[in-house]
Chains A and B, each alone.
Chain A
Amino acid sequence: MRDNPGPAVMAEALVKTYPGDVRALDGLSLAVQPGEVFGLLGPNGAGKSTTIKILTTLARPDSGTATVAGHDVLRAPDRVRRVIGVVAQRSGADPTASGRDNLTLQGRLYGMSGSALRKRVADLLDRFGLTEAAGRAVKTYSGGMQRRLDIALGLVHRPQVLFLDEPTTGLDPEARAAMWAEIARLAADDALAVVLTTHYLDEADRLAARLAIVDSGRIVAEGEPEVLKGELRGDAVHLTLRQAAGTGVLALLGDLPGVRETTVDGVTVSARADDGAAAVPGILAALDRAGVPVAAVTVARPSLDDVYLRYTGRRFDAEKTGAKTGEQTVEVAA
Chain B
Amino acid sequence: MTDLTRVTAAALAELLSTREVSSVEATRAHLDRIEAVDTDLHAFLHIDSDGALKRASEIDQLRADGHEVGPLAGVPVAVKDVLCTIGMPSTAGSKILEGWMPPYDATVVARMRSANLVLLGKTNMDEFAMGSSTEYSAYGPTRNPWDRERTPGGSGGGSAAAVGAFEAPFALGSDTGGSIRQPAAFTGTVGVKPTYGGVSRYGAIALASSLDQVGPVSRTVLDAALLHDVIGGHDPHDATSLTDFWPSFAAAAREGAEAPSLKGVRIGVIKELGGDGFQKGVNDRFTEALALAEAAGAEIVEVSAPHFEYGIAAYYLILPAEASSNLAKFDSVRFGLRVTPEGGGTVEQVMSATREAGFGPEVKRRVILGTYALSAGYYDAYYGSAQKVRTLIQRDFAAAFDRVDVLVSPSAPTTAFTFGEKTDDPLSMYLNDITTIPANLAGIPGMSLPMGLAAEDGLPTGLQIMAPAREDVRLYRIGAAFEALFAQQWGGSLLDQLPTMAGMGAERATVGAPAPAPASVLPVHGAPEPGFGTEPDGGTR
| A and B from one complex | no
Residues of B in contact with A (beta carbons under 8 Å apart): none
